[in-house]
């Protein structure tokens, strides 16, 4: 099976083939039939295999917005990409050429139905920043407020849709033909990429993300999240509070002398740990271009097009995993990593555990100098992918966020230790998590679960007894001593039969109590009293036998 080439996509096929070949995926290129497109350039690309990380960034930028976004998404896949490439891919957002102002003006006109001059008092033609999907301009509302206006690039939806079709076709073919692509679920990566792009193309989603994050971080006065201006926000235009500031990574020693860098770094780390472990909703891309230091000494978090979500079940495990990694506890880290991930059909558990243990032990020596916890998480995700374990996407997103936080923290305070900040915030986080699980809603949920269990218990017990009575009770065990198992079943069956006989005697005695008889004992029907006495004696004997047997076994 080969890729069915479409003439309008030949350029894209060739670019993808050259990129894959240079990264050492020659077998994938040959299997898909893309090799034929390179012609005389095949040898040149083969000789230049494995380019430097910066070369990859330049190539993706040259391929256009779709592949810039693909690079950003792939930078969260620590199971596929080495850490040095992930760091390089973080720079993709800063080097995109801006659109002509006339095109931007036309988009605003289409969204609001009137000229830009009628909507804003002022609107600067030169963008403050240009990203792969849109660019940001400074503007002034009619009431005099300064705002930042994010405008989507014209025609970007059609370009993305066309490129996504190409990627989907290539991924489907590779997954069908190669074990490597199937193991890493190339088709799933493209589908997730498509969903991510569709969310980012609707700026109303980002506006909602800004509102949610701003509410969640209200307890951190040192942090600022610009809020959207609802009446000036549409699917392709987003107006929000204007932020004055500079990149944290550009601070000089003189700048640091005028701020409490250690406190700001600590608060930033605590805020993100709260997002990971309490809120389950976090800013997934805190690279240096999206985190600014404002003149009043506050930190602003920008660009919430990419966010992550953590399930309730994973939050506690994540906190425990981070602590285990930082404390150098390989066994516990391996156990937690196995619970967090999803094992594939070819999962090699022994190799996975050995890789995790080796990883944790290798980083133990770095703890005293300040461990790079984000890099450890990304290396863990890579080890998982290599051994057939599928790490959840949120884990690698958190790993990338932690890597960026490591850099930001040390830019604010060169001696800052991110792991120590996590350790100091661990107890307050655990207490908050406990309060969350003890909320009225959580307690009500548990009460409903208990009620469901109590309602279903009699029916399940009846099914078990029916199977025992009909000799249809089955057990599945991995290994056993057949003779001991048969003897155990015989004892269980005898005790169940004994109990049933005693129950029948008690029920019969109760029924006989209502029947008059000449034979009485203490004024009660004699046969009923005898049955009661016999049942009591049998019950005592059964209990004595059970106690004697269990004591002997002990």
Clarify whether residues 314 and 381 are in a common domain. Answer: yes
Does some domain include residue 28? yes
Say how far apart CA 101 and CA 126 lie, in whole Å: 8
Q: Structural domain tally of the chain?
A: 4
- pLDDT over 80 at 177, yes or no: no
> Which pLDDT does position 160 carry in this prediction?
85
Note whether 239 and 148 are within 8 A (CB).
yes
By three-state DSSP, how is residue 413 classified? coil
Which residues have C-beta within 8 Å of that of residue 480, sequence separation ≥ 6?
none
- Between 62-76, 253-267, 272-286, 411-425, the lowest mean confidence (pLDDT) is in 62-76
> Which pLDDT does position 218 carry in this prediction?
93
Does some domain include residue 190? no
- pLDDT over 90 at 221, yes or no: yes
Angle between helices 373-386 and 330-340 in degrees, nearest 10: 60
229-247 pLDDT, tens digit per residue, is 999 999 999 999 999 988 8
For residue 134, the cross-strand partners are 152
Residue with tokens 């056993």: 480
Clarify whether residues 455 and 517 are in a common domain. Answer: no
Note whether 175 and 159 are within 8 A (CB).
no
Does some domain include residue 229? no
End-of-domain residue from the set 424, 448, 474:
474
Average pLDDT over residues 385-392: 81
- pLDDT over 50 at 368, yes or no: no
Clarify whether residues 501 and 462 are in a common domain. Answer: no
Clarify whether residues 362 and 508 are in a common domain. Answer: no
Angle between helices 53-63 and 10-22 in degrees, nearest 10: 170
Say how far apart CA 247 and CA 227 lie, in whole Å: 20
Does some domain include residue 240? no
Clarify whether residues 496 and 422 are in a common domain. Answer: no
Which residues have C-beta within 8 Å of that of residue 513, sequence separation ≥ 6?
524, 525, 528
Average pLDDT over residues 34-56: 57
Clarify whether residues 457 and 316 are in a common domain. Answer: no
- pLDDT over 80 at 224, yes or no: yes
By three-state DSSP, how is residue 262 classified? helix
Does some domain include residue 228? no
Domain extent, residue 534, equals 482-553
Please count the other Cβ atoms lying within 10 Å of the Cβ belonging to residue 3.
21
Spell out where 325-465 has E strands.
342-343, 389-390
Clarify whether residues 28 and 165 are in a common domain. Answer: yes
294-333 pLDDT, tens digit per residue, is 998 899 998 888 888 888 878 888 888 888 877 778 888 8
Alpha helices by DSSP H, 366-439: 373-386, 393-412, 418-437
Which of the 8 DSSP states describes residue 286? -
| Closest to 384 (Cα-Cα) out of 342, 328, 323 | 342
Q: For the chain, what is the largest distance between any 2 Cα atoms, rounded to a whole number of angstroms?
A: 114
> Which pLDDT does position 439 carry in this prediction?
54
Does some domain include residue 386? yes
Clarify whether residues 432 and 454 are in a common domain. Answer: no
Clarify whether residues 402 and 450 are in a common domain. Answer: no
Clarify whether residues 403 and 464 are in a common domain. Answer: no
Clarify whether residues 422 and 322 are in a common domain. Answer: yes
Q: What are phi and psi of 435, to 5 degrees?
A: -65, -35
506-552 pLDDT, tens digit per residue, is 877 777 777 777 778 877 788 778 888 888 888 888 777 777 766 55
> Which pLDDT does position 150 carry in this prediction?
94
Does some domain include residue 109? no
Mean of pLDDT over the chain: 79
Does some domain include residue 72? yes
> Which pLDDT does position 58 carry in this prediction?
78
Clarify whether residues 503 and 447 are in a common domain. Answer: no
Note whether 116 and 232 are within 8 A (CB).
no
| Closest to 276 (Cα-Cα) out of 167, 410, 382, 432 | 432
């Amino acid at each position: 099976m080969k890729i069915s080439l479409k003439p309008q996509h030949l350029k894209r096929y060739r670019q993808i083939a050259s990129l894959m070949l240079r990264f050492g995926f020659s077998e994938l290129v040959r299997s898909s039939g893309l090799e034929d497109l390179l012609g005389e350039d095949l040898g040149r690309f083969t000789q230049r295999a494995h380019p430097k990380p910066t070369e990859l960034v330049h190539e993706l930028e040259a391929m256009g917005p779709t592949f810039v976004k693909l690079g950003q998404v792939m930078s969260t896949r620590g199971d596929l990409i080495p850490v040095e490439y992930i760091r390089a891919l973080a720079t993709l957002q800063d080097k995109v050429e801006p659109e002509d102002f006339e095109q931007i003006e036309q988009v605003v006109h289409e969204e609001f139905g009137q000229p830009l001059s009628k909507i804003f008092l002022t609107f600067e033609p030169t963008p403050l920043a240009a990203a792969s999907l849109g660019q940001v301009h400074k503007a002034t509302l009619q009431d005099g407020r300064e705002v930042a206006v994010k405008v989507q690039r014209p025609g970007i939806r059609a370009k993305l849709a066309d490129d996504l079709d190409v990627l989907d076709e290539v991924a489907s073919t590779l997954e069908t033909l190669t074990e490597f692509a199937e193991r890493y679920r190339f088709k799933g990566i493209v589908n997730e990429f498509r969903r991510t792009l569709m969310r980012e193309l609707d700026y109303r989603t980002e506006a909602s993300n800004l509102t949610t994050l701003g509410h969640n971080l209200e307890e951190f006065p040192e942090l600022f999240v610009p809020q959207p201006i609802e009446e000036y926000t549409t699917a392709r235009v987003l107006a929000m509070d204007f932020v004055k500031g500079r990149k944290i990574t550009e601070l000089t020693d003189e700048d640091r002398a005028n701020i409490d860098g250690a406190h700001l770094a600590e608060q930033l780390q605590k805020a993100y740990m709260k997002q990971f472990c309490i809120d389950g909703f976090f800013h997934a891309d805190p690279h240096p271009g999206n985190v600014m230091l404002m003149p009043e000494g506050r930190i602003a978090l920008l660009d919430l097009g990419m966010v992550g979500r953590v399930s309730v079940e994973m939050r506690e495990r994540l906190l425990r995993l981070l602590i285990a990694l930082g404390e150098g506890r390989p066994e516990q880290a391996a156990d937690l990593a196995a619970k967090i991930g999803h094992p594939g059909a070819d999962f090699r558990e022994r190799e996975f555990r050995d890789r995790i243990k080796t990883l944790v032990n290798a980083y133990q020596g770095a703890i005293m100098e300040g461990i790079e916890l984000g890099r450890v998480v990304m290396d863990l995700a890579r080890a998982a992918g290599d051994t057939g374990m599928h790490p959840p996407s949120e884990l690698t997103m958190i790993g990338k966020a932690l890597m960026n936080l490591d850099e930001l923290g040390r830019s604010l305070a060169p001696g800052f230790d991110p792991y120590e900040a996590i350790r100091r915030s661990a107890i307050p986080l655990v207490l908050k998590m406990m309060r969350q699980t003890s909320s009225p809603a959580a307690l009500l949920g548990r009460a409903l679960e208990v009620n469901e269990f109590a309602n279903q218990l009699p029916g399940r017990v009846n099914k078990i007894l029916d199977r025992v009575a009909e000799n249809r009770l089955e057990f599945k065990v991995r290994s056993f001593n057949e003779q001991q198992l048969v003897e155990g079943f015989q004892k269980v069956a005898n005790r169940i039969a004994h109990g049933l006989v005693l129950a029948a005697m008690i029920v019969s005695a109760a029924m006989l109590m209502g029947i008059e008889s000449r034979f009485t004992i203490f004024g009660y029907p004699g046969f009923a009293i005898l049955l009661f006495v016999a049942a009591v004696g049998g019950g005592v004997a059964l209990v004595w036998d059970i106690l004697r047997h269990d004591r002997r076994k002990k």
